Structure formats: C-alpha cells, structure tokens
Structure 1
Amino acid sequence: MKFDLHTHHERCGHADGTIEDYIIAALDAGLQAIGISDHSPYFGHKDDRPFPGIAMAQSEFDNYIKEVLELKAKYEGRIEVLLGMESDFFPERLPAYRDAYEGVPFDYIIGSVHQVSGVSIFNRNRWEGLTEKQQFEDKRRYYDLISQSARSGMFDVLGHIDAMKGYYPAFSDIKADAEIDDTLRIIAENDVSIEINTSGSTKYVGGWYPSDEILERAHHFGVNVTFGSDAHVPSRVGDEWDLVSKRLKEIGFKKWVFYRQRKQIIVPL
C-alpha cells in the first residue's frame, strides 16, 4: 500500500495548487491514501494571520477542515483522503492549540518544531558566528523541543526530525548523539512515529530527513516510521516512496504506519 501523509497547498502561502490538485496527483502516482496536512495557523496569536507566507489564517481553519472532508467523501472508493495537519509546536502556546483541535475529526496530526530560540530552523544565517559550544546548544534545544512534543500527547507523527540541516548540512556533524538517543527513546516510549520526509532533496542538504544514521538508531529503539513527501507542489506527491521503502528494508524495518481516525495502521514493508 502506497501512502503519503505530508502535503501542503495554497492556503499556507508558500505552496502551489489546491487540495484537489494534490489528490489528483496522488491518484496519478498510484497511491491508495493521501494525507492533507497543511501548516496550522498560529493559534493563540492576537493577529488572524501574522505570517502570511508561512501558515494559513486562523479564520481559514474551519474552511480547511470542511474542504478536506468534502473531498474525502468525493473521492471515496478511488483513494482514501486523510484529514491531517502539520502543527507547529510552541510549548508556551500548547493550550491554544489543544483547544483549536478539540473535536476536529483528524486522522492524524504531525507535530513539527520549526523554531528554536525564536529563530526559524531554516534560517540560512542562524549559524553565522556561532562557536562550537553555541552550535551544540542550539542542537540540544532543538531535540529537547522534539522530546517535549513527543511527550505532549498531541501528535501522532513528528515531522522532519533533523530538518535543521536543510540549509546547513554541517548540522549533522555537530555531535549530540546522547541527546538524539534520548529523544528517540522518548518517541518510542510515547508511541509516536517519525516521518521519512523526502523534501530535503529540495534544500541544500539534498537528502531525506532524518539521516540514515538516525533511522538506524530509531530502528534500534523501536521507533515506528511513516512517509511524507512534504510536497509543496503536486508533482512531488509520493516523491521517492519506492527508494525510501527499499532503504528501510535494508536498515531492518519490517513495517511502517499511517493513521486513520487517530489510530495507527500497520503496513508491511
């Protein structure tokens, strides 16, 4: 069974195409399930849409849910459309996000850390002038936030867990093995999965999130994995699915998972 749990569309302000465009692309790619998971609004912020090029407006949230559910019904029998969301993780705003998601019939929620110390993980300049100690501290904070997101109970999947390397490939060389291992243990203990996210191929790093090294350690700790292209254009839906499946088998994984009504569905590799 082929699936893709991580897709975006025009509502977020930095992706192309409608939700239906991504569903059609999934059909063309031979997928049996397609997850719609646009960037969550900045819940708890005083402005409706403080960052128009990053995430949808709070006032668009209900329209988003309604549209996905309508398309789920429209395409029933042809492809399974899953209602998801890529949710930012801000510990200080957790209650606002919980309240917003209460009662929504999500199939799954991806929790992603996009900011560390108030700066985007994709900011190309965040590493300039930092000492080795400061670089390590940023990486430690990043994995601490990922650990907190796993413990929060809000998420089914954790998004792109080494994406800080996207525009700074040397991130992988900052030694934080103990911190990463602790994070993977916490993820496994809380029965949250991690995605293999193939959008790294569109960044400087040119590879998947997470690295093979982290995937090998995730396998050791018993972490479940899922797949997400993180497509921001319809043509990337399901991108490199077969290559990811092959690599996971080589590492030793026997299965991966997707979600339906917040329940984990096992798919043999």
Structure 2
Amino acid sequence: MKFDLHTHHERCGHAVDTIRDYVEAGIKHGLQVIGISDHSPFFARKEDHAEPYIAMAKSEFSNYVEEVLRLKETYKNKIEVLLGVESDFFPEHADVYRAVYDKYPFDYIIGSVHQTNGVSIFNKNRWKGLSEAEKVAVKETYYDQIRQSAQSGMFQILGHIDAMKGFYPSFSSIQTKAVEDTLKMIGECGLAIEINTSGNTKDCGGWYPSDDILELALHYGVEVTFGSDAHKPSRVGDEWEQVNKRLKEIGYREWVFFRQKQKVVVPL
C-alpha cells in the first residue's frame, strides 16, 4: 500500500495549487492513501493571518477542514483522503492549539518544530558567530522542544525531526546526547516519526531524518511513516520506493499511517 501523509496547498502561502490538485496527483502517482496536512494557523497570535507566507489564516481553518472532508467523500472510490494538519509546537501555547484541534475530526496531526527562541530553524544566519558550545545549546533547545511535543499528547506523528540541517548541513555533526534522549522519549510515548523527502530540496540534500537517526529510532522502537512534504503536486509520493527500500535495509519491517487517530500498520 502506497501512502503519503504530508502535503500542503495554496492556503499556507508558500505552496501552490489546490487540495484537489494534490489528490489528483496522488491518484496519478499510484497512491492508495493521501493525507492533507497544511500548516496550521498561528492560533495564539491576535491577528487573523499573522504570517501570510508561512501558514493559513485562522478564518480559513474551518474552510480547510470542510474542503478536505468534501474531497474525502468525492474521491472515496479512487483514493482514501485523510484529514490532517501540520501543527507548529509552541510549548507555551499548546493548550490554545489543543482546544482548536479538539473541535475537528482529524485522522492525524503532525507536530513540527519550526522555530526555537523565536527564530526559524531554517534561518542559516542564526549560526553565524556561534561558538561550538553555543551550537550545541541551539541543537539541544531544538530537541528539547521536540521532546516536549512528544510528551504533549497532541500528535500522532512528529515531523522532520532533524530539519534544522536543511540550510545548515553541519547541524548533523554537532554532537549531543539530546538526539538519542529524544528518540527514546518518542518511543516511550508511542509516536511515529516521518521520513520526509523534502530535505532533498534543501542545502542538506537528503531526507529527514538521516540514516543514523533512523537506526537509533529502530533501536528505541519508534515507528515510522512517510511524507513527501509536497508544496507542489508533482512532488506527491516523491521517492517513496527509495525510502521503502532503505528502511528495509536499516531493519524496519513495517511502517504506519493513521485513520481517525488509530494506527494502521503497513508491511514494507
């Protein structure tokens, strides 16, 4: 069974085309299951549309949900459409986000850390002039936030857990036990992590997470899922076969997706 749980669309302001276009792309690329998971609004901000080029407006969120549910019904005989969302995780605002999500029938929620200390994880300038000790501190703050997201109970999947390497490939070589401690916690909490192939569109030129993290994840019993993180329909299902093959080489025998927040196990 071929699936892709991480796709976006035009509402977030930095992806193109409609949800229907992504569903049609899923059919074209041989998927049986496609999850729609656009960026959640900044629910804790006062503005309706706090970041027009990062996430959708709060006033659009119910429209987003309704559209996905409508397409779920429209395409039910061609492809299974799942209702998801990629949620930012801000520990201080977790209850605000949780209260909104509880109103809707999500199949799954992806928890992703996109900012630490108010700075985007993709901002390469944040590394300029830092000592080695300061770089370790930045990485440990990032993984502490991911660890808190795992413990929050809000998510079924954690998104791109080493995406900080996206525009700073040296991130991967910063040594800290925080990565292993985080994977252990994710395993204890029973969440899945995604293999996200959008890393190949960034400077790091590889999937999120790297093979060494996947090997540690397997050791700690962390389950995995697949997400292209497509921001254009042509990337739906991108490199699914290669990921499937690599996971088997690492030692995985299955991966998962979620329907009504219940795990569905798929053999590799």
Q: TM range, normalised to the smaller chain?
A: over 0.9
Task: Count how many residue pairs are aligned between Structure 1 and Structure 2.
Answer: 268
AA matched with 1:168: Y
Superposed, 1:37-186 pairs within 5 Å as: 37-176=37-176, 178-186=177-185
Map of 1:206 onto structure 2 = 205
Deviation at 1:195, TM superposition (A): 0.1
Unpaired stretches in structure 1, ≥5 consecutive residues: none
- Rounded to whole Å, the distance in 1 between the matches of 2:267 and 2:198 is 23
Superposed, 1:6-21 pairs within 5 Å as: 6-21=6-21
User: Where has structure 1 moved over 2 Å in runs of 4 or more?
Assistant: none
Deviation at 1:238, TM superposition (A): 0.2
Secondary structure, counterpart of 2:108 in structure 1: coil
Map of 2:194 onto structure 1 = 195
- Rounded to whole Å, the distance in 2 between the matches of 1:181 and 1:169 is 19
Map of 1:268 onto structure 2 = 267
AA matched with 1:249: K
Secondary structure, counterpart of 1:87 in structure 2: strand
AA matched with 2:93: R
**% same residue:** 65
- Rounded to whole Å, the distance in 1 between the matches of 2:205 and 2:80 is 30
Residue by residue over 1:199-249, the C-alpha shift from the partner in whole angstroms, topping out at 9 and shown as x without a partner, is 000000010000000001100111000000000000000000000000000
AA matched with 1:145: Q
- Rounded to whole Å, the distance in 1 between the matches of 2:103 and 2:94 is 16
Secondary structure, counterpart of 1:243 in structure 2: helix
Deviation at 1:254, TM superposition (A): 0.5
Secondary structure, counterpart of 2:40 in structure 1: coil
Secondary structure, counterpart of 1:143 in structure 2: helix
Secondary structure, counterpart of 1:126 in structure 2: helix
- Rounded to whole Å, the distance in 2 between the matches of 1:250 and 1:6 is 23
Secondary structure, counterpart of 2:226 in structure 1: strand
- Rounded to whole Å, the distance in 2 between the matches of 1:235 and 1:126 is 32
- Rounded to whole Å, the distance in 2 between the matches of 1:207 and 1:107 is 28
Map of 2:30 onto structure 1 = 30
Deviation at 1:103, TM superposition (A): 2.7
AA matched with 2:182: T
- Rounded to whole Å, the distance in 1 between the matches of 2:33 and 2:40 is 21
Map of 1:248 onto structure 2 = 247
- Rounded to whole Å, the distance in 1 between the matches of 2:146 and 2:77 is 36
Q: CA RMSD in A?
A: 0.5
AA matched with 1:123: N
- Rounded to whole Å, the distance in 1 between the matches of 2:123 and 2:103 is 35
- Rounded to whole Å, the distance in 2 between the matches of 1:55 and 1:6 is 15
Secondary structure, counterpart of 1:84 in structure 2: strand
- Rounded to whole Å, the distance in 1 between the matches of 2:103 and 2:38 is 18
Secondary structure, counterpart of 2:207 in structure 1: coil
- Rounded to whole Å, the distance in 1 between the matches of 2:218 and 2:19 is 33
Q: TM-score, normalised by structure 1?
A: 0.99
Deviation at 1:77, TM superposition (A): 1.3
- Rounded to whole Å, the distance in 1 between the matches of 2:87 and 2:32 is 24
Secondary structure, counterpart of 2:41 in structure 1: coil
AA matched with 1:71: L
AA matched with 2:242: L
Residue by residue over 1:120-148, the C-alpha shift from the partner in whole angstroms, topping out at 9 and shown as x without a partner, is 00012111111101100000000000000
Q: TM-score, normalised by structure 2?
A: 0.99
Secondary structure, counterpart of 2:127 in structure 1: coil
